[in-house]
Structure formats: C-alpha cells, structure tokens
Structure 1
Amino acid sequence: MLCYDYAIVRVVPRVERGEFVNAGVLLSTRDGVYLGALFALDEARLRALDPQVDIELVQRQLGAVERIVAGEANAGEIARLPLRARFHWLTAQRSALIQTSPVHGGRCNEPRLALEHLLQRMVLPPIPTRGCLPA
C-alpha cells in the first residue's frame, strides 16, 4: 500500500472574488516515485463565474502545470526538480488564476487509478442517479 498526497487544481477567474472551478488533480506518492496530474476544464462553469475569462490563457497555464509534472525540458527549472519538490512547488499557496486546494493524503495500490478516481470524484460533474421506485 502506497501513501500519497493530492491537491485539487482550481481556476480562479477573478481572484478578488475567491470563486473557483475545480479543473484537475495533482497526486504525488510520499516515497517520491510518482507524480501525476489529470485535468478536465469545464468551460461553461468557468464562464458562469466570469463571462470574460480568457479560456486560452487558462488552458496555457494548465498546460504549463502538465509540462512541469511531466518534467519536460521546455518547462523550465521547476520541471528539473525531484518529483516531490515539484509537487510542493505546484501546491504552494498563491493568489493567481491557477491555485490548488490544501494538500490531503490517502493510500492506494496504484497511484494512476487513485488519480483517476479523484478526478471523477472531485472535478467531473456528478453522474446523475435514478431514484428507486417503489415496487
């Protein structure tokens, strides 16, 4: 069983209002072997908070986070840090368009599956369920 930390990636279109839309998840195993990110930006929900939001800017900034997580050479100095250091840098508190939730912990056998589960639970819209009808 692996211990991990995760944070929800939030888009805050108008920082002064403090409203946000969950757009992704970062997950890092505490042993520093895994760092992953998944994103699902709901543009309609974001526009509901700010009809003037620059969606292209948001997508570029989320893309920068993905490149840092992946350790891509064109992602700058932060992308060259060890995995845990990248996670801590990405989850540092900031007042910006892209922010993260507080860091939470968990345990899993497969980090990628935990990341997918967290995206489904914390970012994607809930799946509607049908109520039970009496027999």
Structure 2
Amino acid sequence: MPAHSSFDYAIIRVVPRVEREEFINVGVVLFCTTQRFLGVRVELDEARLKALAPDTDLDTVRDHLESFRRVSEGGKGTGPIGQLPQKDRWHWLVAPRSTILQTGPVHSGLSQEPQKALEHLMDTVVRVKRVR
C-alpha cells in the first residue's frame, strides 16, 4: 500500500459581484509535491450562478475557469503562466484576487491518491446534493 502524501488545496469560487462578497464554489485546485500532482476540477452550476446573479456573463466565467485548468496542466499553448514549473503554477492559481474568479484559503490534507482526494473534495464542497 502506498504511503500517504500531504497535499494542499483551495476551493475555486465565482464571485459575480465582488462588492457583495457572495459566491458559489465551482471547483478545487489541489497540489501534491511528493507525487508531482497539480490538478483542477471545475463544475459550474449555471442555474445556481444565474439565481445568485442573473446578469452574469456565463461565457466569460467558463473561459476564466478553463484558463485555471490549462494553467494547472501546463505545457505548450498554455501561455507564460502555463510554462512555469508546477510549484509556481500552483502559487499563481491560489494567489489572492479581487475578481469574479477567486480561490479560498489554502488547506492541507493527506491522501494516497491525490486524484481521488480531488474528487472527494468536489463531492463535499462543490457538488450540491439535490433534495427531491
């Protein structure tokens, strides 16, 4: 059985009107140094966002969220930030912002498999369980 590795993560939020400080969680960025893992998962609940801020430009939000994913993957075609080493890309992704797309505070955890930890976080902090 592989040993547990520490990881850091932050929740990605859409803050449609920064002055109101209202937001919805839309994703997670997770970094595990020992396993050389940097991943972003995003699921935009457009109906929830429209309920919070009906005038939000969904195309712009989708484009910005896609840039988070591209930067986390890195490599050719990802712009200057995507060319940085993995640790530097992590720091760029979680840097404080006062824009429509923000990350919350950085938290830590332990996992044998960072990808599974990322999915678990999506289930617990992003996905809304619908009551029927």
TM-score range (shorter-chain normalised) is: over 0.9
* Residue of structure 2 aligned with 1:82, choices 73, 78, 85: 85
Q: Specify the alignment match of 1:21 in structure 2.
A: 24
1:6 maps to 9
Calculate the TM-score normalised by the size of structure 2. Answer: 0.92
> Cα deviation per residue 1:2-49 (whole Å; 9 max; x = unaligned)?
100000000011111111110000000033611001111011111111
1:60-79 matches, within 5 Å, as: 60-79=63-82
- Give the SS at the match of 2:99: coil
Q: Distance in 2 between matches of 1:110 and 1:32?
A: 9
User: Partner of 1:73: helix, strand, or coil?
Assistant: coil
Query: Gaps spanning 5+ residues in structure 1: where?
Result: 130-135
Aligned length: 129
CA contact (8 A) 2:31 2:39 kept: yes
% identity of equivalent residues: 46
2:105 to 91, 97, 102: 102
Name which of 54, 57, 61 aligns with 2:60. Answer: 57
Unaligned regions of 5+ residues in structure 2, if any? none
CA contact (8 A) 1:15 1:97 kept: yes
Aligned 8 A contact 1:12 1:98 in 2? yes
User: Could you tell me whether the CA contact under 8 Å between 1:32 and 1:83 is conserved in 2?
Assistant: no
- Post-superposition shift, 1:127? 5.7
Q: TM-score, normalised by structure 1?
A: 0.90
Distance in 2, Cα, partners of 1:75 & 1:15: 27
Q: Which has the larger radius of gyration?
A: 1
1:58, CA displacement in angstroms? Answer: 0.2
Taking a change above 3 Å as real, the CA distance of residues 113 and 32 of structure 1, as seen in their structure-2 partners, is closer
Q: Which residue of 2 aligns with 1:132?
A: none
Following superposition, the deviation at residue 74 of structure 1 comes to 2.0
Q: Does 1:121 align with 2:124?
A: yes
- The CA distance in 2 between the partners of 1:102 and 1:31, in whole Å, is 21
Q: CA RMSD in A?
A: 1.4
3-state secondary structure, aligned to 2:20: coil
